Amino acid sequence: MKLNLNEMKNIKNISEVVTPAYDIETVKENTMKAPKWLHFGAGNIFRAYVGKMQQNLLNKGLENTGIIVAESFDTEIIDKVYKPHDNLTLSVILSKDGNFSTEVIASIVESLKADTDKDTLKEIVKAPTLQMISFTITEKGYNLKTPNGEYMKVIEEDFQNSPEEAKHIMSIVTNLLYVRFKAGATPISLVSMDNCAGNGDRVRTAVLDIAEHWVEKGYVEKEFLAYVSDEKKVAYPISMIDKITPRPAEVVKEHLEKLGFEDMNIVVTSKNTYTGAFVNAEAPEYFVVEDKFPNGRPELEKSEAGVYVTDRETVEKTERMKVTTCLNPLHTTLAVYGCLLNEKTIFDAVSNPYLNKLIKNIGYGEALKVVDDPKILSPKAFIDEVINERFANKFIPDQPERIATDTSQKVGIRFGETIKAYLASDELNVEDIRYIPLVYAGWFRYLLGIDDNGNERSISPDPMLEMLKEKMTGIEFGKPETYKGQLREILKNKMIFGVDLEEVGMADRVEKYFVEMLVGKDAVVNTLKKYLVN
């Protein structure tokens, strides 16, 4: 039995699988006639969580249209996962007790490629019914500039060329907004659902920057810039999203095959995206979004999917709580050290007594002191759930390597904001921060590509990897004397860390920890033991 629309009658006979309570073909027809929701980023969190939000509303009769998704980065996903399965997804929720809850998600009714389906995308954005364009394109999808502060080559080209030839995702979206502007300038919201601080502000900054350059070149009218600048016309709500959706797992594939499904193979694209007909995810889920939708919106708060629609201040507090204190910094810590210590999963990493103590010291001991309570969620309870329930779920096959991806793009937010809060406090002293520098040192040690046993190991993709490795030239495992200050320039980089670590007095401590980790076999574990004794 294959996962496609023709097999839905047979799939409905499987008692262990929840199927849609609505007519899929009718929803698709409604959507293509009067689209309300376009999304960019066809990855796992979109399918497992965003798609589920809309599915729940459709099941309740609170919506009659689905979501159209477009992919701009890895279009193989469309060819190898979406199209063969008629855009259906099997969502498998992995509970800590070992139960697998399986559901067919059918709310995603069409899948497109941003580079080849331009005409279809234009027709969609012309529709006055379109309420929002949302994104799960990762933090780097909003960046127009390199870490050195210069515009990326692709952006320079987008500035010079016609908007119709746009290549960067933010340029493509800005051109679609121009199409909408010319078709009547109907209001719309651009909703980032990515894990980064002020995500909506990042979208706005990128769109306005591109629009300003196009005005200067004479490609678009000044009135278009006014349109995208007016939040009564084009709104950019901020949000916080949280649901762990790791790479598809073999054990889940086997579970689905036992239920009778075929073609459940795990797909690895040429861009190293791990995907498949199914998505496995944890049960906890949170989406907190600013209520800024000038053309209306779905009643997401009624989706029974952990959604809160609220004011900007509450979103900001919730996002900071999660990204800078309660989850993301702990995740990065486990990822970096999990790779060094060859822990196979995040569950294995959090089960390591030294890493468990390290994340508790960072979360409860250093970061929680400066968190701003959002009230809708308790920061202390959130960390408790993260450490004791979510990371400790052995059925979530999340790998440290996945979380370690793009670490250079994450540390500034995940740890830098806590450092800034200490610097701004009259009561706290940045000198008292002892465990965040231990994470920085561990990250640099990881970048050597040698584990704690002295064996070579892979390094996860990172846009700054080559630059970082070049700066660290000459540092050798087992020879601490080869460290001659190579990290100093990196440690001063505010683009990476959010602050100048030398300026704030933290660089010496990072270097000290790092050099101790160079000594030889087991030096990483021994360093952790030494500084986690209290």
User: Which pLDDT tens digit goes with each residue over 374-393?
Assistant: 999 999 999 999 999 999 99
pLDDT tens digit sequence for 396-452: 888 999 999 999 999 998 999 999 999 999 999 999 999 999 999 999 999 999 999
Does position 228 have pLDDT exceeding 80, yes or no?
A: yes
Does position 533 have pLDDT exceeding 80, yes or no?
A: no
The phi and psi torsions of 283 (rounded to 5 degrees) equal: -80, -45
User: pTM for this structure?
Assistant: 0.84
Residues 6+ apart with CB under 8 A from 406: 138, 139, 140, 460, 461, 462, 463
Residue 289 forms beta bridges with which residues?
Answer: 239, 309
Closest by CA to 168, choosing from 153, 179, 154, is 154
The phi and psi torsions of 189 (rounded to 5 degrees) equal: -115, 140
Residues 6+ apart with CB under 8 A from 353: none
Does position 147 have pLDDT exceeding 80, yes or no?
A: no
Tokens of 61: 């009769």
Share of the chain above pLDDT 90, in %: 95
Residue 188: pLDDT band (50, 70, 90) is very high
75 backbone φψ class: left, alpha, beta (φ>0; ψ -120 to 50):
alpha
Q: What is the mean pLDDT of residues 284-305?
A: 97
The pLDDT score that the predictor gives to residue 380 is: 96
Does position 534 have pLDDT exceeding 70, yes or no?
A: no
Secondary structure of the chain: what % helix, strand, coil (to 5)? 50, 15, 40
Question: 227-247 burial, b for 16+ CB within 10 Å, e for fewer?
Answer: bbeeeebbbbbbbbbbbbbbb
pLDDT tens digit sequence for 46-95: 999 999 999 999 999 999 999 999 999 999 999 999 999 999 999 999 99
CB burial class (10 A; 0-12, 13-18, 19+) of residue 376?
middle
Cα–Cα distance, 332 to 404 (Å, whole number) = 6
Radius of gyration of the chain (CA): 23
Do residues 403 and 331 lie in contact, with contact meaning Cβ atoms separated by under 8 Å? yes
The dihedral over CA atoms of 136, 141, 142, 148, expressed in degrees to the nearest 10, equals 150
Cα distances from 310 to residues 134, 344, 457, in angstroms, run 17, 38, 45
The pLDDT score that the predictor gives to residue 465 is: 96
Does position 30 have pLDDT exceeding 70, yes or no?
A: yes
Pick the range with the lowest mean pLDDT from 140-149, 227-236, 259-268, 511-520: 140-149
Cα–Cα distance, 506 to 302 (Å, whole number) = 46
Residues 6+ apart with CB under 8 A from 273: 43, 74, 76, 77, 267
Tokens of 422: 């200490």
Cα distances from 100 to residues 245, 258, 278, 493, in angstroms, run 14, 12, 13, 45
Do residues 286 and 304 lie in contact, with contact meaning Cβ atoms separated by under 8 Å? no
Residues 6+ apart with CB under 8 A from 49: 241, 243, 245, 281, 285, 287, 305
Tokens of 328: 């993301």
Does position 323 have pLDDT exceeding 90, yes or no?
A: no
Cα–Cα distance, 530 to 534 (Å, whole number) = 9
Q: What is the mean pLDDT of residues 146-174?
A: 95
pLDDT tens digit sequence for 440-499: 999 999 999 999 999 999 999 999 999 999 999 999 999 999 999 999 999 999 999 999
Q: What is the DSSP string of 129-175?
A: T--EEEE---GGGG--B-TTSPBPHHHHHHHHS-GGG--SHHHHHHH
Closest by CA to 137, choosing from 81, 190, 89, 193, is 193
Angle at alpha carbon of residue 295, lines to 294 and 301, rounded to 5°: 85
Please give the order of strands across the beta sheet that includes 239-242: 239-242, 286-290, 307-310
Name the maximum alpha-carbon separation found in the chain.
Answer: 69
Residues 6+ apart with CB under 8 A from 392: 96, 347, 350, 351
Q: Which domains does the chain have, with CATH numbers?
A: 5-310 (3.40.50.720), 312-533 (1.10.1040.10)
198 backbone φψ class: left, alpha, beta (φ>0; ψ -120 to 50):
left
DSSP 265: P
Angle between helix 199-217 and helix 222-229 axes, rounded to 10 deg: 170
Q: What is the mean pLDDT of residues 301-316?
A: 96
The pLDDT score that the predictor gives to residue 139 is: 86
Tokens of 96: 């800590």
Do residues 105 and 27 lie in contact, with contact meaning Cβ atoms separated by under 8 Å? no
